[in-house]
Structure 1
Amino acid sequence: MKSAAILAFCLLLVGCAAPVKKDMSAFIAAAPRSVLVVPTINKSLDVDAPNYVLAALPVPVAEKGFYVFPVNTTKFVLEQEGYYEGERIHQEPTPVLAKLFGADAVLYVTINRWDAQFALLTTVVTVDFDYRMVAKDGTELWNEKKKLQYSPQNNNSGGSPMVALVSAVVSAAITRAAPNYMPLTKRANQEVFLLSPNAIPNGPYRKTAQ
């Protein structure tokens, strides 16, 4: 019994351990003012994922205080230069991409997972991203990873077990047929850019409370 209590206490300490603070000196030294968000690499099976993720990225970066080049304009200009696929764009030297727009830094995002999997009367929706920001001279300024999952909850806590079972099956089927990834995606971006202890430092246009 005593051993079990000690183990539980140790697990609690691990769960509450603060993340290791990353070195932000390169970011602070570069002091970027503008960020170019380029099309993503998509490792998921959803062909629409890159457009949704790309559309969600500018808001938290702008809220952090940086000028963000419009993503649709960026995509159009890159296509005119012959850059169509995320993989091809990510392979291009950062100074080349930054020079096209006069950007101080380039934000690269890789979609590792963007899927919904059925398991035991529920559907688990997962998003998993890698983020990387690189200065116009090619110096990596910051990187982060974020994985979030969501499973719809059955609200029939006071009803019969059969009704609860049917409700869970229907809810899972609906989520699997038409999963909504955007709330998770926006939450992942918010945590990475705004809430994390390792979020990027504030930009020059960061609005502060009066």
Structure 2
Amino acid sequence: MNLSSLLKWAGVALLALLASGCATRQPYDYSAFRRAQPKSILVLPPVNKSPDILASNSLLAHMSMPLAEAGYYVFPVALVTRTFKENGLNSPDEMHAVSTAKLREIFGADAALYVEITEYGTSYAVIRSDTVVAAKARLLDLRSGETLWEGSARASSGEGQSNNNGLIGALVKAAIDQIVNTIGEKGHEIAGITSQRLLSPGPSGILVGPRSPEYGKDTGNRP
């Protein structure tokens, strides 16, 4: 294959790659969300896939605020958790296994939010120490069982940081960060950022609810 043919082939391959990349970034389909128009959301305790046993309660403590600010009535998470436990369901996995019809019968909510934590905690990687919290969410209509929305978010204590202190300085900083982040429960702080990114209205985020002044306006991802 001569140079001209090789360059032509590479150009075609690049265009195909770019086209396929663009094809995967389609706007989120809010058709089901707009039809359902939920007014109230039941937040289930997150299922924790990380090794940190504090992760579920930590993220749960942050999740009501962005939803309420978005314009929804959010059932008190402590009351919801206690109701489950009084009925013999003690783990988030068991709670998530309850049928949508049963959740609707017990709580009377329009929709339920199912969250899974995929990363939580501080990790030490030679020259840096980062606290990361990542989660994915799914909003289900409790009246029909239909998925209304899905999304994911991640936040890290290392965002925007740069190292100008050389290798020794980086090693010392990483060791100090590991200690401080662990003692100071940095994960809980980062969980708040992740929760805001995951559950606030925005590009591909949830739609605003009926309590929001933006509700009904035909802008962005509004109903």
Percent identical: 30
Counterpart Cα distance in 1 of 2:132 and 2:71 = 29
Matches within 5 A, 1:17-28: 19-28=25-34
Question: 1:162, CA displacement in angstroms?
Answer: 5.9
- Aligned equivalent of 1:134: 140
- Contact 2:155/2:190, CA 8 A, preserved across alignment: yes
- With normalisation by structure 1, the TM-score equals 0.80
SS state at 1:117 partner: strand
Candidates 186, 189, 192, aligned match of 1:186: 192
- Contact 2:46/2:117, CA 8 A, preserved across alignment: yes
Counterpart Cα distance in 1 of 2:113 and 2:166 = 51
1:143 aligns with 2:170: no
Count of matched residue positions in the alignment of Structure 1 and Structure 2? 197
- Contact 1:19/1:197, CA 8 A, preserved across alignment: no
Counterpart Cα distance in 1 of 2:132 and 2:198 = 16
SS state at 1:57 partner: helix
Change (3 A) 1:52 1:204: same
Structure 2: gaps of 5 or more residues: 1-6, 215-223
Counterpart Cα distance in 1 of 2:199 and 2:48 = 20
1:170 aligns with 2:176: yes
Supply the RMSD in Å over aligned alpha carbons. 2.9
Letter in 1 for 2:158: S
- With normalisation by structure 2, the TM-score equals 0.76
Letter in 2 for 1:93: S
- Aligned equivalent of 2:92: 86
Structure 1: gaps of 5 or more residues: none
Question: 1:67, CA displacement in angstroms?
Answer: 0.2
Counterpart Cα distance in 1 of 2:146 and 2:76 = 23
